[in-house]
Amino acid sequence: MSIPVCTGGTCAAGVSSITFTNSLTQEVTITSCTLPGWPTNSEPEVPAAKNGVNGSTTVQLTGRTTVGTYDYTTDPSCNDLNTDPQIKVQ
């Protein structure tokens, strides 16, 4: 399962990595994240979509996910709702 970087999404509790996808034609950087276990000093880049294939990257966490809702920010800001996207861990 993957999370669209611009809109956020859901992942399972207890995983140690999260894959993000990008449907834009430009790279998107995750500039901060409140998820416990998010690697410090890390700004993962999700590559641009190319030739009709979404870009993707996997972030390795320093621990396993726990149930909750966590905000993150992107550069460029690409959520149409003008709010930070969220990771919902269930």
Domain residue spans of the chain: 2-89
How much of the chain exceeds pLDDT 90, in percent? 88
Task: Pull the structure tokens for residue 26.
Answer: 């430009």
What CATH topology corresponds to 2-89? Immunoglobulin-like (2.60.40)
**Does the pLDDT of residue 80 top 80, yes or no?**
no
Residue pLDDT, tens place only, 62-71: 999 999 999 9
Residue pLDDT, tens place only, 37-54: 999 888 999 999 999 999
Residue pLDDT, tens place only, 1-11: 799 999 999 99
Report the distance separating Cα 73 and Cα 71, nearest Å: 7
pTM over 0.85: yes
β-strand 86-89 against 68-75: which pairing, if any?
Answer: antiparallel
Read off the pLDDT band of 73 (50, 70, 90).
very high
SS3 content of the chain, % helix, strand, coil (to 5): 0, 45, 55
